[in-house]
Structure 1
Amino acid sequence: MTKVSVWAALACDVLVVLVFTAVGSASHASLEHGVAHVVLLGVSFLLALGVGWAAARAWRAPAQPWPTGVAVWFATVVLGIWFRALLVPGAGVAVSFVLVTALFLGATMLGWRTVDTLVRRRAAQH
Protein backbone atom coordinates (compact mmCIF):
# COMPACT_ATOMS: atom_id res chain seq x y z
CA MET A 1 0.00 0.00 0.00
CA THR A 2 1.47 3.36 -0.99
CA LYS A 3 1.71 6.45 1.18
CA VAL A 4 -0.89 9.20 0.95
CA SER A 5 0.30 11.82 -1.51
CA VAL A 6 0.81 15.37 -0.35
CA TRP A 7 -1.93 16.55 -2.72
CA ALA A 8 -4.43 13.96 -1.47
CA ALA A 9 -3.71 14.88 2.15
CA LEU A 10 -4.05 18.59 1.42
CA ALA A 11 -7.29 17.90 -0.45
CA CYS A 12 -8.64 16.02 2.60
CA ASP A 13 -7.84 18.95 4.89
CA VAL A 14 -9.31 21.50 2.47
CA LEU A 15 -12.45 19.38 2.16
CA VAL A 16 -12.74 19.26 5.96
CA VAL A 17 -12.51 23.06 6.17
CA LEU A 18 -15.04 23.53 3.36
CA VAL A 19 -17.50 21.11 4.98
CA PHE A 20 -17.02 22.87 8.33
CA THR A 21 -17.70 26.24 6.70
CA ALA A 22 -20.71 24.98 4.74
CA VAL A 23 -22.34 23.22 7.69
CA GLY A 24 -21.67 26.14 10.02
CA SER A 25 -22.97 28.66 7.50
CA ALA A 26 -26.12 26.63 6.88
CA SER A 27 -26.71 26.13 10.60
CA HIS A 28 -26.46 29.83 11.32
CA ALA A 29 -28.13 31.20 8.16
CA SER A 30 -24.92 33.00 7.19
CA LEU A 31 -26.17 33.53 3.64
CA GLU A 32 -28.56 36.10 5.08
CA HIS A 33 -25.43 38.24 5.55
CA GLY A 34 -24.49 37.73 1.90
CA VAL A 35 -22.22 35.48 -0.10
CA ALA A 36 -19.17 37.59 0.81
CA HIS A 37 -19.77 36.74 4.47
CA VAL A 38 -19.67 33.00 3.76
CA VAL A 39 -16.61 33.38 1.52
CA LEU A 40 -14.78 35.30 4.27
CA LEU A 41 -15.62 32.55 6.74
CA GLY A 42 -14.11 29.95 4.44
CA VAL A 43 -11.09 32.09 3.61
CA SER A 44 -10.40 32.60 7.33
CA PHE A 45 -10.03 28.90 7.96
CA LEU A 46 -8.33 28.11 4.64
CA LEU A 47 -5.67 30.74 5.40
CA ALA A 48 -5.19 29.19 8.81
CA LEU A 49 -4.91 25.74 7.25
CA GLY A 50 -2.23 27.03 4.88
CA VAL A 51 -0.23 28.53 7.73
CA GLY A 52 -0.63 25.30 9.69
CA TRP A 53 0.63 23.21 6.78
CA ALA A 54 3.62 25.52 6.32
CA ALA A 55 4.47 25.70 10.03
CA ALA A 56 4.19 21.93 10.46
CA ARG A 57 5.97 21.24 7.16
CA ALA A 58 3.08 18.89 6.60
CA TRP A 59 4.30 17.89 3.14
CA ARG A 60 7.00 15.78 4.86
CA ALA A 61 4.54 13.39 6.52
CA PRO A 62 1.06 14.65 5.64
CA ALA A 63 -0.92 11.66 6.93
CA GLN A 64 0.72 11.31 10.35
CA PRO A 65 -1.71 12.12 13.17
CA TRP A 66 1.22 13.11 15.41
CA PRO A 67 2.87 15.55 15.12
CA THR A 68 1.64 16.69 11.69
CA GLY A 69 -2.10 16.30 12.25
CA VAL A 70 -2.07 17.87 15.70
CA ALA A 71 -0.01 20.86 14.51
CA VAL A 72 -2.20 21.44 11.45
CA TRP A 73 -5.37 21.05 13.53
CA PHE A 74 -4.17 23.42 16.28
CA ALA A 75 -3.09 26.11 13.81
CA THR A 76 -6.31 25.81 11.83
CA VAL A 77 -8.45 26.23 14.95
CA VAL A 78 -6.52 29.05 16.62
CA LEU A 79 -5.63 31.03 13.52
CA GLY A 80 -8.97 30.33 11.85
CA ILE A 81 -10.82 31.86 14.78
CA TRP A 82 -8.39 34.79 14.80
CA PHE A 83 -8.67 35.39 11.03
CA ARG A 84 -12.45 35.08 11.30
CA ALA A 85 -12.54 37.76 14.00
CA LEU A 86 -10.38 40.03 11.80
CA LEU A 87 -12.02 39.42 8.42
CA VAL A 88 -15.70 38.78 9.11
CA PRO A 89 -17.68 41.83 10.21
CA GLY A 90 -19.58 41.20 13.42
CA ALA A 91 -18.06 37.77 14.02
CA GLY A 92 -17.73 37.27 17.73
CA VAL A 93 -15.69 34.63 19.49
CA ALA A 94 -18.09 32.67 21.68
CA VAL A 95 -16.67 29.85 23.79
CA SER A 96 -19.23 27.48 22.29
CA PHE A 97 -17.99 28.31 18.78
CA VAL A 98 -14.38 27.69 19.80
CA LEU A 99 -15.34 24.31 21.30
CA VAL A 100 -17.40 23.22 18.29
CA THR A 101 -14.63 24.35 15.95
CA ALA A 102 -11.94 22.50 17.89
CA LEU A 103 -14.03 19.33 18.21
CA PHE A 104 -15.20 19.18 14.60
CA LEU A 105 -11.84 19.99 13.06
CA GLY A 106 -10.07 17.70 15.52
CA ALA A 107 -12.38 14.78 14.83
CA THR A 108 -12.10 15.17 11.07
CA MET A 109 -8.49 16.27 10.58
CA LEU A 110 -7.10 13.79 13.08
CA GLY A 111 -9.77 11.24 12.19
CA TRP A 112 -8.84 10.74 8.55
CA ARG A 113 -5.15 10.58 9.49
CA THR A 114 -5.80 7.99 12.20
CA VAL A 115 -7.92 5.83 9.90
CA ASP A 116 -5.22 6.03 7.23
CA THR A 117 -2.53 5.02 9.74
CA LEU A 118 -4.55 2.05 11.03
CA VAL A 119 -5.41 0.83 7.52
CA ARG A 120 -1.76 1.02 6.47
CA ARG A 121 -0.58 -0.83 9.58
CA ARG A 122 -3.12 -3.56 9.01
CA ALA A 123 -2.17 -3.87 5.33
CA ALA A 124 1.50 -4.11 6.26
CA GLN A 125 0.76 -7.04 8.60
CA HIS A 126 -0.77 -9.10 5.79
Structure 2
Amino acid sequence: MKKYLLALLLDAVLVVVFCAIGRSSHGEANALAGLAGTAWPFLTGLAVGWIATLALYRDKFDALLIVPTGIVLWLSTLFVGMILRIASNQGTALSFIIVAGTVLAVFLLGWRAVAKALTRTAATRK
Protein backbone atom coordinates (compact mmCIF):
# COMPACT_ATOMS: atom_id res chain seq x y z
CA MET A 1 0.00 0.00 0.00
CA LYS A 2 2.88 2.37 0.78
CA LYS A 3 4.21 1.86 -2.76
CA TYR A 4 0.84 2.96 -4.15
CA LEU A 5 0.69 6.06 -2.00
CA LEU A 6 4.16 7.03 -3.15
CA ALA A 7 3.11 6.49 -6.77
CA LEU A 8 0.01 8.64 -6.26
CA LEU A 9 2.09 11.37 -4.61
CA LEU A 10 4.67 11.28 -7.43
CA ASP A 11 1.90 11.51 -10.04
CA ALA A 12 0.36 14.50 -8.24
CA VAL A 13 3.71 16.26 -7.88
CA LEU A 14 4.45 15.75 -11.57
CA VAL A 15 1.05 17.16 -12.56
CA VAL A 16 1.72 20.25 -10.42
CA VAL A 17 5.21 20.55 -11.93
CA PHE A 18 3.65 20.39 -15.41
CA CYS A 19 1.28 23.23 -14.46
CA ALA A 20 4.07 25.27 -12.87
CA ILE A 21 6.26 24.92 -15.96
CA GLY A 22 3.39 26.02 -18.16
CA ARG A 23 2.61 29.04 -16.00
CA SER A 24 6.27 29.97 -15.83
CA SER A 25 6.73 29.73 -19.59
CA HIS A 26 3.91 32.22 -20.04
CA GLY A 27 5.14 34.57 -17.30
CA GLU A 28 1.85 34.36 -15.43
CA ALA A 29 1.66 36.20 -12.11
CA ASN A 30 -0.08 35.38 -8.81
CA ALA A 31 2.02 32.28 -8.31
CA LEU A 32 0.24 30.17 -5.67
CA ALA A 33 -3.38 31.00 -6.44
CA GLY A 34 -2.69 30.89 -10.17
CA LEU A 35 -0.96 27.53 -9.87
CA ALA A 36 -3.90 26.13 -7.92
CA GLY A 37 -6.30 27.43 -10.57
CA THR A 38 -4.28 25.81 -13.32
CA ALA A 39 -3.64 22.53 -11.52
CA TRP A 40 -7.05 21.62 -10.10
CA PRO A 41 -8.58 20.38 -13.39
CA PHE A 42 -5.62 18.10 -14.04
CA LEU A 43 -5.39 16.90 -10.44
CA THR A 44 -9.09 16.08 -10.59
CA GLY A 45 -8.49 14.13 -13.80
CA LEU A 46 -5.63 12.31 -12.10
CA ALA A 47 -7.91 11.41 -9.17
CA VAL A 48 -10.58 10.14 -11.57
CA GLY A 49 -7.95 8.01 -13.27
CA TRP A 50 -6.72 6.53 -10.00
CA ILE A 51 -10.26 5.70 -8.90
CA ALA A 52 -11.10 4.19 -12.29
CA THR A 53 -7.93 2.12 -12.40
CA LEU A 54 -8.40 0.85 -8.87
CA ALA A 55 -12.04 -0.05 -9.61
CA LEU A 56 -11.34 -1.73 -12.95
CA TYR A 57 -8.21 -3.63 -11.95
CA ARG A 58 -8.66 -4.02 -8.19
CA ASP A 59 -7.52 -7.64 -8.12
CA LYS A 60 -4.54 -7.03 -10.41
CA PHE A 61 -3.85 -3.36 -9.66
CA ASP A 62 -0.23 -2.29 -9.88
CA ALA A 63 0.52 1.44 -9.71
CA LEU A 64 3.86 0.95 -11.44
CA LEU A 65 2.53 -0.58 -14.66
CA ILE A 66 2.54 1.51 -17.81
CA VAL A 67 -0.33 -0.61 -19.18
CA PRO A 68 -3.02 -0.25 -17.98
CA THR A 69 -2.34 2.04 -15.01
CA GLY A 70 -0.13 4.68 -16.62
CA ILE A 71 -2.22 4.87 -19.80
CA VAL A 72 -5.50 5.25 -17.87
CA LEU A 73 -3.98 7.90 -15.60
CA TRP A 74 -2.47 9.83 -18.52
CA LEU A 75 -5.65 9.85 -20.60
CA SER A 76 -7.88 10.63 -17.64
CA THR A 77 -5.63 13.45 -16.48
CA LEU A 78 -5.56 14.93 -19.98
CA PHE A 79 -9.21 14.53 -21.01
CA VAL A 80 -10.89 15.24 -17.67
CA GLY A 81 -8.47 18.13 -17.18
CA MET A 82 -9.38 19.63 -20.54
CA ILE A 83 -13.12 19.16 -19.98
CA LEU A 84 -12.85 20.90 -16.62
CA ARG A 85 -10.78 23.68 -18.15
CA ILE A 86 -13.54 24.24 -20.71
CA ALA A 87 -16.19 24.18 -17.96
CA SER A 88 -14.22 26.77 -15.96
CA ASN A 89 -13.52 29.03 -18.95
CA GLN A 90 -9.81 28.29 -19.11
CA GLY A 91 -7.99 27.95 -22.41
CA THR A 92 -7.87 24.73 -24.42
CA ALA A 93 -6.20 25.70 -27.68
CA LEU A 94 -5.17 22.76 -29.85
CA SER A 95 -1.49 23.56 -29.34
CA PHE A 96 -2.01 23.49 -25.56
CA ILE A 97 -3.78 20.12 -25.75
CA ILE A 98 -0.90 18.68 -27.79
CA VAL A 99 1.75 20.05 -25.43
CA ALA A 100 -0.20 18.97 -22.34
CA GLY A 101 -0.73 15.48 -23.77
CA THR A 102 2.95 15.12 -24.59
CA VAL A 103 4.29 16.44 -21.29
CA LEU A 104 1.79 14.47 -19.21
CA ALA A 105 2.67 11.31 -21.14
CA VAL A 106 6.39 11.85 -20.55
CA PHE A 107 5.78 12.54 -16.85
CA LEU A 108 3.13 9.92 -16.00
CA LEU A 109 4.44 7.15 -18.25
CA GLY A 110 8.11 8.09 -18.10
CA TRP A 111 8.70 7.56 -14.40
CA ARG A 112 6.92 4.20 -14.63
CA ALA A 113 9.24 3.16 -17.49
CA VAL A 114 12.27 4.21 -15.46
CA ALA A 115 10.97 2.33 -12.40
CA LYS A 116 10.40 -0.78 -14.53
CA ALA A 117 13.92 -0.56 -15.97
CA LEU A 118 15.45 -0.14 -12.54
CA THR A 119 13.42 -3.06 -11.19
CA ARG A 120 14.59 -5.28 -14.05
CA THR A 121 18.20 -4.19 -13.55
CA ALA A 122 18.01 -4.93 -9.84
CA ALA A 123 16.41 -8.31 -10.50
CA THR A 124 19.13 -9.34 -12.96
CA ARG A 125 21.86 -8.42 -10.46
CA LYS A 126 20.49 -10.82 -7.84
By the TM > 0.5 criterion, same fold?
A: yes
Q: Within 5 A, what are the aligned runs for 1:62-101?
A: 62-87=63-88, 89=89, 91-101=90-100
| Superposed displacement of residue 26, structure 1 | 1.3
Amino acid at match of 1:111: G
For residue 108 of structure 1, what is the amino acid of its counterpart?
A: F
- Distance in 1, Cα, partners of 2:109 & 2:2: 14
Q: Which residue number in structure 1 is paired with residue 116 of structure 2?
A: 117
Structure 2, unaligned runs of 5 or more = none
TM-score (norm 1): 0.86
RMSD: 2.1
CA distance in 2, matches of 1:117, 1:4: 17
Q: What is the CA deviation profile of residues 65-115 of structure 1, one whole-angstrom value per residue up to 9, with x for unaligned ones?
A: 11100110010011111111212x4x2221100000000000111000001
Q: Percent identity?
A: 32
Give, in whole Å, the separation in 2 of the partners of 1:11 and 1:103: 20
TM-score of the superposed pair, with normalisation by structure 2:
0.86
Match of 2:8 in 1: 10
